[in-house]
């Protein structure tokens, strides 16, 4: 209860926490956000670009940190859109990345794929899609829901890309963010810029296990609420919803 009483800001992951992977924010969880917004400041801390998160949330009025802290955009009520505060990028040696991904595909047998071998993002982040960039969404969602296929590969992918933080991303890929960017870095930076202590922030996420993109926050001093089923978000956040009633 003391954690809930000191909370001023609630920070959220998106996929798996508020929605299914890359699906629109539904009315039930939108209503939960509306209730929380009456009591707390809200913030998204995402792996994807701020604009993509905003669109997936149906233009929900919320500030967004994107690309593991490489982007920050504030919601502007007058325009109903986002205003970019900063949008950082890092260099990427695409030839080297392609070569290392090819080697991993050969090593682990993922040589058949749809679309491109690697997805390069303007930020400098990289996605290694085991099924390829053009794989059908239903195939991606069915591929590895429990991560048993990717977990054994994770140490090798990490070792192959020491200049990145590597995550077991989405449902069929590995995501890579250039150092020092990750969600802990992003949230800590935000707190320093906004004059907030870590104890005034509660992070809500689902991807807190080994290789998860919420793991760095989960293992830190930020209070963390685990969401293991996005359809039960209200139950997971009952303490926050009731703390100030």
DSSP 180-234: T-SHHHHHHHHHHHHT--GGGEEEEES--STT-TTHHHHTSSS-EEE-S-GGGHH
pLDDT of amino acid 5: 72
Give the residue extent of every domain in the chain: 2-87+182-243, 94-178
Reported as a single tens digit per residue, the pLDDT across 25-41 is 999 999 999 999 999 99
Rounded to whole angstroms, the Cα distance separating 24 from 125 reads 23
Reported as a single tens digit per residue, the pLDDT across 88-114 is 999 999 999 999 999 999 999 999 999
Instruction: Compute the average pLDDT of residues 141-165.
Output: 95
Which band of pLDDT confidence, cut at 50, 70 and 90, is reported for residue 3?
Answer: low
Reported as a single tens digit per residue, the pLDDT across 129-148 is 999 999 998 999 899 989 99
Instruction: Compute the average pLDDT of residues 191-215.
Output: 97
- Fold entry, domain 2-87+182-243: Rossmann fold (3.40.50)
In CATH terms, the superfamily for domain 94-178 is: Eukaryotic phosphomannomutase, cap domain (3.30.1240.20)
Instruction: Compute the average pLDDT of residues 1-9.
Output: 75
Rounded to whole angstroms, the Cα distance separating 151 from 177 reads 18
Reported as a single tens digit per residue, the pLDDT across 50-88 is 999 999 999 999 999 999 999 999 999 999 999 999 999
């Amino acid at each position: 209860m003391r954690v809930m009483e000191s909370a001023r800001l609630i920070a959220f992951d998106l996929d798996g926490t508020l929605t299914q992977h890359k699906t629109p924010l539904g009315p039930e969880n939108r209503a939960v956000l509306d209730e929380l917004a009456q009591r707390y400041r809200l913030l998204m801390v995402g792996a994807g670009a701020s604009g993509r998160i905003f669109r997936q949330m149906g233009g929900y009025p919320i500030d967004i940190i994107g690309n593991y802290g490489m982007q920050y955009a504030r919601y502007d009520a007058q325009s109903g859109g986002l205003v970019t505060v900063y949008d950082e990028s890092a260099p990427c040696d695409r030839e080297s990345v392609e070569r290392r991904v090819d080697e991993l595909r050969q090593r682990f047998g993922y040589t058949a794929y749809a679309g491109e071998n690697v997805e390069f993002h303007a930020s400098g982040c990289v996605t290694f899609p085991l099924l390829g960039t053009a794989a059908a969404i239903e195939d991606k969602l069915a591929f590895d829901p429990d991560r048993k296929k990717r977990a054994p590969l994770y140490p090798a992918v990490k070792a192959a890309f020491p200049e990145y933080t590597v995550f077991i991303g989405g449902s069929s890929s590995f995501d890579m963010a250039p150092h020092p960017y990750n969600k802990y870095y992003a949230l800590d930076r935000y707190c320093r810029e906004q004059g907030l202590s870590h104890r005034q922030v509660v992070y809500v996420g689902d991807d807190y296990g080994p290789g998860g993109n919420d793991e760095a926050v989960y293992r830190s001093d930020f209070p963390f609420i685990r969401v293991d089923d996005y359809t039960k978000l209200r139950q997971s956040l009952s303490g926050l919803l009731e703390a100030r009633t």
